[in-house]
Amino acid sequence: MANSWWELQIVCDLALEDSIFWRLEQFGCRGTASETKGYSYLVRAYIPQEQVQLLDLAALSLWLRQDALVLGLPIPTTHWHLIDEEDWASSWKAHWQPQEVGDRFLIYPAWLPVPDQSDRFILRLDPGLAFGTGTHATTQLCLEALEMRIDQESHDIVADLGCGSGILSIGAIMLGAEKVYAVDVDPLAVRATRSNRTLNRVNSDRLIVEQGSIDRVMKMIDAPVDGIVCNILAEVIIDLIPQISAITKPTSWGILSGILLDQTKPVADLLEQQGWTIAALWRRQDWCCFNIRRS
């Protein structure tokens, strides 16, 4: 079958959602969707056929079982089958619906007709193969934190590290950021952010997107930024913190998400060593989001 995808179906206890999403992301899954099935939860995830062997899928299933055992939760069942590209797109799209996030945003799948009126910012997205549909707690925490940080008067210049679909960059622009520098190591994320920029009619002078990480941002900017938003995993964030400090100024703020509850201490310790104040620590499910500032 040309351009085939593995569709993984995992039936699990609701409390396992976070650890399963984390495993699937680590494994390289490109799209995920979930729905409640009675007292259980059905997670669907997709990965290109050529990227994994059957043995890899068996190993993933084992990790998911072990995670559940460690957490003392019922063991999830994992099934997989091949589907073609067209079925992948329609299957995943059928499960993703518009969603209100925070007080200001309505995240809207690109393929649905836009409502005539809304008192929210309609953030249209086709994430393609990139992460960032707004359904994940870590993304929601960032959008809500951006609502608190940015307004039309603040004229903030922002860096979005690990932009995925571009959801946070576009959200920041809608709230009033003057300019956003967005980077991602994944070329598919860069492509998705650029096409979502067009979809939301954001000028390419205001949202500058390049492949890379914070060292790329250092080359893109001509002065330190006012704010940083970074929704990656704790291990990556820890590596990035010294460079984040280097591209910010004494009045800058930061929003760091994607950090599991039991990973907060090393992140907090390093931030404090680097002269950051932790203004607030928000939690949703097992995920935490640091709202930080320099002064």
Ligand X SMILES: C[S@@+](CC[C@H](N)C(=O)[O-])C[C@H]1O[C@@H](n2cnc3c(N)ncnc32)[C@H](O)[C@@H]1O
Extract the annotated binding site for S-adenosyl-L-methionine: 139, 162, 184, 231
Site string for ligand X, 131-150 (x = CB under 6 A): xx------x--x--------
Place of tokens 């590290």: 161
Quote the least distance from Cβ 286 to ligand X, whole Å: 14
Stretch that binds ligand X, among 13-21, 108-116, 147-155, 159-167 (CB under 6 A): 159-167
Quote the least distance from Cβ 79 to ligand X, whole Å: 25
Subset of 169-208 contacting ligand X (CB under 6 A):
183-186, 189
Quote the least distance from Cβ 243 to ligand X, whole Å: 10
Q: For the beta carbon of residue 240, count every other beta carbon within 10 angstroms.
A: 18
If the CB atoms of residues 83 and 138 are measured against ligand X, the closer one turns out to be 138
Q: For the beta carbon of residue 19, count every other beta carbon within 10 angstroms.
A: 20
Subset of 98-137 contacting ligand X (CB under 6 A):
130-132
If the CB atoms of residues 76 and 132 are measured against ligand X, the closer one turns out to be 132
Quote the least distance from Cβ 67 to ligand X, whole Å: 18
Report how far residue 73's alpha carbon sits from residue 50's, in angstroms, rounded to the nearest whole number: 32
Burial of 49 (0-12, 13-18, 19+ CB in 10 A): middle
Q: Binder to ligand X among 60, 146, 163, 292 (CB under 6 A)?
A: 163
If the CB atoms of residues 10 and 240 are measured against ligand X, the closer one turns out to be 240
If the CB atoms of residues 11 and 238 are measured against ligand X, the closer one turns out to be 238
Subset of 225-284 contacting ligand X (CB under 6 A):
231-232, 236, 258
Q: How many residues does the chain have?
A: 295
In the 8-state DSSP scheme, what is residue 112?
Answer: S
Quote the least distance from Cβ 77 to ligand X, whole Å: 26
Report how far residue 63's alpha carbon sits from residue 61's, in angstroms, rounded to the nearest whole number: 6
Q: Binder to ligand X among 213, 243, 264, 285 (CB under 6 A)?
A: 213
Quote the least distance from Cβ 287 to ligand X, whole Å: 10
If the CB atoms of residues 6 and 287 are measured against ligand X, the closer one turns out to be 287
The β-bridge partners of 37 are: 40
Subset of 69-98 contacting ligand X (CB under 6 A):
none
If the CB atoms of residues 85 and 235 are measured against ligand X, the closer one turns out to be 235
Q: Applying CB under 6 A, which residues contact ligand X? A: 130-132, 139, 142, 161-164, 167-168, 183-186, 189, 213, 231-232, 236, 258
